[in-house]
Amino acid sequence: MKTTNILIACLVVSCCCISSCSKDLTKWNEDPNGVNQGTANPNLVLSTVLTETGKAFVNLGYQDIAGVMQHTQKDGWSTTHNNYEWGGSQSWAEYYDILRNNEYVYQRSVALQYELQQGMALVMKCMVFGLITDLWGDAPYTAALKGIEGGAEHVFPAYDDQETIYKGILADLETANTLLSKGKNEYNSTADIIDVYYKGEPSKWRKLANSLALRYYMRISDKLPDIAKAGIEKIVGNAAQYPIISSFTEDAAMPFAGNSNGDSWPANVTYDADASNYRRLKMCATLVKVMRALHDPRLGVWANKIQIPLVVDPNLPAGTDKIENGKRYLSPDKVAGLEVNTDPEYVGIPPGLNGAAVYNMGPDPSQAARNPHVSWLNDIYKEAKGPLLKARLLSAAEVHFILAEAALKGWAVGDAKTHYEAAIQASLNTWGVGGTYDAYIAVPGVAFNGTLEQLIQQKWIASWTAATESWFDFRRTGFPKLKAGPDAMRKVLPVRFYYMLEERNLNRTNTEAAMNKLEVTTYSEADGKNSPWSKPWLVKGTAKPW
């Protein structure tokens, strides 16, 4: 049988070789079902860039990074989410796939003189390259996306340092601001149908470009404070030339179509009959505790109340464990030595627990993720689509928090209190509870006290389902003061991803050069230089976040 297969294979190869002598090889390389790169409208590919980027952001911010930042925990298949046992499993391949498609959009738009698409493509380039360097550190940038040109320097590109990448991003966003500065009718192209963010409205893309610049100026504010200060003050000081996102209606947020699992909210139950992905995600005790203390109205939007509250009653006979009237009654001896949370409404799972499935008297470890004594996520997260189910890339709340922080630094951007309160109002509006603003802003602990810790804590809360940005804030500020759980890989939270094995094997020289620039810390341990606990340039040489 093997001999027959080999003979057939050889015959096929021979036929191909003979045929190739008489056929134009360029014709053989054309996919009759694919996009002709020389004649295609860039919108055909731009739509994929936008949707894949949206999915990439929400898959981070709603999944494992939500675990790192203690928004959620899992009580099934939990090690990467709760304990950071990544083992190099993360890969930037999907991000560079997006960037390659985006580069085609940009180059094709240049050829067609489509300035609208050029500007949009530059914004997306900055969004994705920014994410890569934020997650890993040094990365291929100036030499990236050139593999088609051949040569070892393109196939195995050198890594740029973070400073170079951030400066390149800011320069590209300046160019995008100019490209996107015309009225919609002044462009010779449109993107209305394919643009799932802003329906082809250049003024909103321009605001996104400048708001993204604010993000990255603040990102480098401790390393390059003079550049950051000048850049943020330039944008804020000239609103006509540098408009920014100021209202929640202008958020860069992608809704989901819900037609298939690929274009639906992640972990929905519409395309997961067992609902296992939805069930495994539970609220984290860290977030619940803070929100309960502040009487935060968003908690009820994000979480379900517990199905069966626990009541520990010292008046009950020893050995009592019974459910009556929707509550589980326990005598003190039944919970002796156990951590029990008797909050009647919301109970989160503490971070970094291997036994999360039976936390808070979970009745049956074999029924993982079905614990009725902890808070499940709100039922809206079962759906494939919905008005609140969006991939959130950048928001008005984030912009106002950035400006509030800049004001705390003494930069000329307005009043810190005003921006802080505008940020909270924008977040409450986003989640449909804007009417609670007056009551919420008056709560002790919410009312502005002028500290960076309070500001970043509120920004962390507001980053729900977009927790990746709060991870980057935590890394440079140390806030909120999160502690790793007892079963986590290390005693502190990680600050980056591992460089993946395939990159270390295939592009060894350049990857090792990047690894050698990381700062090994006490927590790097057996990982060595390439550790999530080794510090990249952005926090190298600092005491942040630990």
> Using one digit for the tens of pLDDT, what is the confidence trace for 175-202?
999 999 999 999 999 999 999 999 999 9
Q: Which residues contact 127 (CB under 8 A, 6 or more apart)?
A: 53, 212, 393
Instruction: Please give the DSSP secondary-structure letter assigned to residue 158.
Output: P
- Please name the residue that has the structure tokens 């309160």: 421
Q: Which two tokens stand for residue 124?
A: 């997306």
- Has this prediction a pTM greater than 0.75? yes
Residue 544 scores a pLDDT above 70:
yes
* pLDDT classification of 218: cutoffs 50, 70, 90: very high
Rounded CA separation 376/267 (Å) = 13
Model pLDDT, residue 522: 97
Domain 45-238 bears CATH identifier 1.20.1300.10: no
Model pLDDT, residue 34: 59
* pLDDT classification of 364: cutoffs 50, 70, 90: confident
* pLDDT classification of 153: cutoffs 50, 70, 90: confident
Model pLDDT, residue 376: 97
Residue 31 scores a pLDDT above 90:
no
Model pLDDT, residue 21: 36
Model pLDDT, residue 32: 56
Q: Is the peptide bond before 387 cis (omega within 30 degrees of 0)?
A: no
Parallel, antiparallel, or unpaired: how do β-strands 321-324 and 281-283 relate?
Answer: unpaired
Residue 409 CB coordination number (10 Å): 15
* pLDDT classification of 429: cutoffs 50, 70, 90: very high
* pLDDT classification of 7: cutoffs 50, 70, 90: very low
- 3-class SS of residue 70: coil
Element (H, E) at 312: strand 310-312
256 class by beta-carbon count within 10 Å (0-12 exposed, 13-18 middle, 19+ buried): buried
Domain ranges across the chain: 45-238, 278-381
Residue 437 scores a pLDDT above 90:
yes
Q: Give the mean pLDDT of 450-454.
A: 98
Q: Which two tokens stand for residue 61?
A: 């911010």
* pLDDT classification of 35: cutoffs 50, 70, 90: low
Q: What is the pLDDT of residues 395-412, one digit of tens each?
A: 999 999 999 999 999 999
Model pLDDT, residue 497: 98
Give the residue from 49, 451, 465, 433 showing the smallest Cα distance to 248: 433
- Please name the residue that has the structure tokens 């192209």: 189
Residue 24 scores a pLDDT above 80:
no
Give the residue from 136, 242, 121, 50 showing the smallest Cα distance to 496: 136
Give the number of residues written for the chain.
Answer: 546
Model pLDDT, residue 167: 98
Share of the chain above pLDDT 90, in %: 88
Residue 260 CB coordination number (10 Å): 10
Rounded CA separation 436/506 (Å) = 54
Model pLDDT, residue 520: 98
Backbone angle region of 369, left / alpha / beta, with phi > 0 → left and psi within -120 to 50 → alpha: left
Q: What is the pLDDT of residues 481-532, one digit of tens each?
A: 999 999 999 999 999 999 999 999 999 999 999 999 999 999 999 999 999 9
Q: What is the pLDDT of residues 95-127, one digit of tens each?
A: 999 999 999 999 999 999 999 999 999 999 999
Model pLDDT, residue 150: 78
* pLDDT classification of 135: cutoffs 50, 70, 90: very high
Model pLDDT, residue 33: 57
- Which residues, listed in sequence order, are joined to residue 233 by a DSSP beta bridge? none
Mean pLDDT, rounded, of the chain: 93
Give the residue from 436, 431, 399 showing the smallest Cα distance to 418: 399
Rounded CA separation 25/16 (Å) = 11
Model pLDDT, residue 77: 86
Model pLDDT, residue 39: 81
- 3-class SS of residue 288: helix
Q: Which residues contact 342 (CB under 8 A, 6 or more apart)?
A: 309, 310, 311, 312
Rounded CA separation 296/373 (Å) = 21
Give the residue from 278, 253, 282 showing the smallest Cα distance to 267: 278
Q: Which two tokens stand for residue 509?
A: 């020289």
